[in-house]
């Protein structure tokens, strides 16, 4: 198992993901949509590191986004989780040269998507703990 | 999100984001933070409540008759609880010989089959796993024998989830939870299935029922606390982590969980006490040391914070969060700005995409400019 993955235990990866999600929420709260989206993806990816810690899978790649991409295409994953991954991946960050109309509801959807992925990862971890 | 005008193609998704680094639950304070947090909350006194001992996590297969079949099933359950899978199988086989028309033995045999085949399972492999599929068939056969046999629903639902049939798993596990309303594990199985399939609020209810039924189980309180955090309910999470820490006082993780959650509520003295306890119990985890350092930093104990970050980095010099937090502590003193910058550059090498690195480098730039 890779050194970068074993640095934290599965539970520590979940904790790290929760911290990242909180930072994403804080980014959205101060209207930093780019930071919020990046944080949501990182939070989801960190939680998936927890899943990888207990169920190694080389096809999931190394980066956080690699993990989210892989889960979005995993037919054995629940539909809601794949949809959450897709939302995270397909949502574009704001550009400096375009004006985006963002809404709190839209931001909340992305936070919820990250939570769905994290919840799925947590289930994978708990499946091994039980 | 509604995009009014479309501009250049986006690039961030394809950009690799190495996950080689990690981060702790806490956010480093901004560099211009005054440092001291005068939060002197009173410690919450947890009432000396006596909780019952934890219940077994293996769903009981025996009925209430106590006959020879039940006795073998109970022995099988006890062995399964100890993870003595071969021994459990012997007893479940014996039960089947004694009661071929009973559902329990088949459920036990299927349970062992699944446990053995999934003990080292890679993600998604269960879908094509012959043993798991055989177990699913056995469990369906058991339900044909006794159509209202709750344990069969609970085990079948778990197996269906393993093979990727989430919708069927939810229906099955709901039935199992209905038939076994006082079984914590049946409620928990439903809860984790709901969690796995994107039904977080419903999952919470099921996991709360499981925790109420098995209130003496530290892991159940810890799981529930984590799910509360997932839902952003920090105060509820603190309450569950408090119970977990009280039930498992010797478990470093339980105290770290509680301390980290308390940090989110700015309950500094209590957070520090819990994080110190975690480090006392297990001083080898860089994340525990970093969280403790952060709590010291928020409380204005800069020197203590720096010492803890350095201890964490001595254990794991690729722990990006420790480098970032160290930098924020060092940046409080102009004399150590160069060292702070070096720490941030190290963090950047470890995780070039960590947004905290850029934000803190920008702030350090501003601080240095304002000085000149």
Residue with tokens 């309950």: B267
Q: How confident is the model at residue A64 (pLDDT cuts 50, 70, 90)?
A: very high
Least confident of B14-28, B199-213, B255-269: B14-28
Note whether A15 contacts B15, CB cutoff 8 Å: no
Q: How close A2 comes to chain B (CA, Å)?
A: 9
pLDDT digits over B304-320, tens only? Answer: 999 999 999 999 999 99
Report CA-CA distances (Å) from B187 to A83, A107, B220, B340. 26, 32, 11, 50
Token representation of residue B164: 């990727």
- Total Cβ atoms within 10 A of residue B323: 28
Q: Give me the pLDDT at residue B14, please.
A: 31
Report CA-CA distances (Å) from B44 to B225, B232, B233, B239, B291. 17, 21, 18, 10, 21
Nearest CA among B230, B252, B257 for reference residue B241:
B257
* CA dihedral angle for residue B80, residue B81, residue B82, residue B86, rounded to 10 degrees: 0
- CB contact, 8 Å: B18 with chain A? yes
Find the CB nearest B7 among A56, A95, A103: A95
Q: Which residues of B284-303 are buried (b: 16+ CB within 10 A; e: fewer)?
A: ebbbbbbbbbbbbbbbebbe
Find the CB nearest A118 among B8, B21, B230: B230
- C-alpha to C-alpha distance for A15 and B225, rounded to whole angstroms: 11
- C-alpha to C-alpha distance for B40 and B46, rounded to whole angstroms: 18
Cβ distance B200 to B231 under 8 Å? yes
**Could you tell me the maximum CA-CA distance found in chain A, to the nearest angstrom?**
51
Find the CB nearest A63 among B17, B229, B256: B17
Nearest CA among A7, A27, A68 for reference residue B287:
A7
CA A64 to chain CA centroid, Å, is 7
Residue with tokens 């993600």: B123
Token representation of residue A42: 């990182």
Note whether A22 contacts B24, CB cutoff 8 Å: no
- Total Cβ atoms within 10 A of residue B269: 15
A43 CB neighbours in chain B (<8 A) are none
pLDDT surpassing 90 at residue B131: no
Question: Which helix (H) or strand (E) segment is A100 a member of?
Answer: strand A100-101
What percent of chain A shows pLDDT beyond 70? 91
Count residue pairs from A and B with Cβ separation < 8 A: 185
The per-residue DSSP string of B31-81 comes to: TT---B----PPPPPPP-PPPPPPPPSSPP---SS--HHHHHHHHHHHHHH
DSSP letter for B216, please: T
- CB contact, 8 Å: B68 with chain A? no
Residue with tokens 């499946």: A127
> What are the φ/ψ torsions at residue A84 (nearest 5 degrees)?
-65, -45
Average confidence (pLDDT) over A51-58: 89
Q: How confident is the model at residue B295 (pLDDT cuts 50, 70, 90)?
A: very high
Read off the pTM.
Answer: 0.82
Q: CB neighbours of B289 closer than 8 A, spacing ≥ 6?
A: B279, B283, B308, B309, B311, B312, B315, B322
Q: How confident is the model at residue B8 (pLDDT cuts 50, 70, 90)?
A: very low
- C-alpha to C-alpha distance for B274 and B116, rounded to whole angstroms: 38
Cβ distance B191 to B206 under 8 Å? yes
Q: B-contacting residues of A 67-96, CB under 8 Å?
A: 67, 74-81, 83-84, 89, 91-93, 95
Token representation of residue B161: 């989830």
pLDDT surpassing 80 at residue B22: no
Token representation of residue B93: 């086989």
pLDDT surpassing 50 at residue B10: no
- C-alpha to C-alpha distance for B334 and B319, rounded to whole angstroms: 24
Report ipTM (2 d.p.): 0.84
Q: Give me the pLDDT at residue B165, please.
A: 82
Q: Which of A15, A34, A116 to mutate to test the interface with B (most CBs of B within 10 A)?
A: A15
- CB contact, 8 Å: B15 with chain A? yes
- C-alpha to C-alpha distance for B80 and B109, rounded to whole angstroms: 11
Cβ distance B185 to B54 under 8 Å? no
Q: Give me the pLDDT at residue A106, please.
A: 78
Q: How confident is the model at residue B19 (pLDDT cuts 50, 70, 90)?
A: very low
* CA dihedral angle for residue B342, residue B345, residue B346, residue B350, rounded to 10 degrees: 170
Q: CB neighbours of B70 closer than 8 A, spacing ≥ 6?
A: B62, B63, B104
Note whether B197 contacts A101, CB cutoff 8 Å: no
pLDDT surpassing 80 at residue B11: no
- CB contact, 8 Å: B3 with chain A? yes
Q: Give me the pLDDT at residue A124, please.
A: 87
Q: Give me the pLDDT at residue A95, please.
A: 66
Find the CB nearest A84 among B195, B198, B318: B198
Cβ distance B264 to B290 under 8 Å? no
Average confidence (pLDDT) over B348-359: 88
Q: Give me the pLDDT at residue B49, please.
A: 62
Average confidence (pLDDT) over B198-210: 93
- CB contact, 8 Å: B231 with chain A? yes
Report CA-CA distances (Å) from B270 to A19, B33, B56, B267, B292. 19, 22, 32, 6, 11
pLDDT surpassing 50 at residue B350: yes
Note whether A15 contacts B260, CB cutoff 8 Å: yes
């Amino acid at each position: 198992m890779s050194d970068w993955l074993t640095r934290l235990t599965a539970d520590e990866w979940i904790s790290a993901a929760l911290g990242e999600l909180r930072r994403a929420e804080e980014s959205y709260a101060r209207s930093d949509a780019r930071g919020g989206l990046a944080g949501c993806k990182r939070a989801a990816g960190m939680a998936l590191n927890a899943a990888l810690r207990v169920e190694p899978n080389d096809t999931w790649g190394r980066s956080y986004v690699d993990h989210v991409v892989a889960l979005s295409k995993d037919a054995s994953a629940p539909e809601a989780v794949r949809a959450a991954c897709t939302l995270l991946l397909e949502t574009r960050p704001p550009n400096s040269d375009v004006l985006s109309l963002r809404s709190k509801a839209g931001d909340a959807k992305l936070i919820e998507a990250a939570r769905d992925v994290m919840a799925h990862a947590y289930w994978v971890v708990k499946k091994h703990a039980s | 999100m509604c995009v009014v005008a479309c501009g250049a193609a986006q690039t961030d998704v394809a950009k690799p984001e190495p996950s080689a680094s990690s981060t702790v639950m806490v956010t480093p304070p901004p560099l211009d933070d005054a440092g001291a947090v005068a939060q002197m909350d009173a410690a919450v006194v947890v009432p000396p409540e006596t909780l019952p001992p934890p219940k077994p996590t293996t769903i009981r297969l025996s009925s209430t008759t106590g006959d020879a079949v039940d006795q073998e099933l109970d022995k099988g359950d006890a062995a399964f609880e100890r993870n003595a899978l071969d021994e459990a199988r012997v007893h479940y086989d014996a039960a089947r010989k004694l009661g071929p028309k009973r559902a329990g033995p088949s459920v036990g045999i299927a349970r062992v089959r699944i446990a053995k085949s999934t003990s080292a399972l890679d993600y998604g492999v269960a879908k094509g796993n012959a043993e798991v599929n055989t177990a699913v068939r056995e469990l369906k056969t058991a339900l044909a024998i006794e159509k209202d046999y709750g344990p069969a629903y609970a085990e079948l639902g778990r197996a269906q989830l393993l093979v990727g049939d989430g919708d069927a798993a939810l229906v099955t596990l709901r039935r199992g939870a209905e038939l076994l309303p006082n079984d914590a594990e049946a409620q928990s199985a439903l809860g984790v299935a709901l969690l796995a399939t994107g039904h977080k609020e419903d999952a919470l209810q099921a996991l709360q029922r499981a925790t109420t039924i098995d209130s003496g189980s530290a892991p159940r309180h810890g799981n529930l606390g984590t799910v509360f955090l997932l839902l952003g309910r920090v105060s509820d999470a603190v309450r569950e982590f408090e119970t977990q820490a009280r039930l498992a006082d010797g478990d470093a993780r339980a105290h770290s969980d509680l301390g980290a959650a308390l940090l989110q509520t700015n309950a500094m003295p209590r957070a520090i006490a819990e994080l110190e306890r975690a480090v006392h119990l297990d001083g080898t985890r860089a994340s525990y040391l970093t969280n403790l350092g952060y709590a010291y930093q928020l409380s204005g104990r800069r020197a203590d914070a720096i010492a803890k970050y350095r201890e964490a980095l001595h254990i794991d010099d690729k722990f990006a969060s420790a480098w970032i937090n160290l930098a924020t502590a060092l940046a409080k003193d102009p004399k150590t700005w160069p060292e702070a910058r070096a720490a941030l550059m190290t963090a950047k090498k470890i995780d070039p995409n960590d947004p905290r690195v850029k934000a803190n480098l920008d702030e350090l730039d501003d601080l240095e400019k304002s000085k000149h």
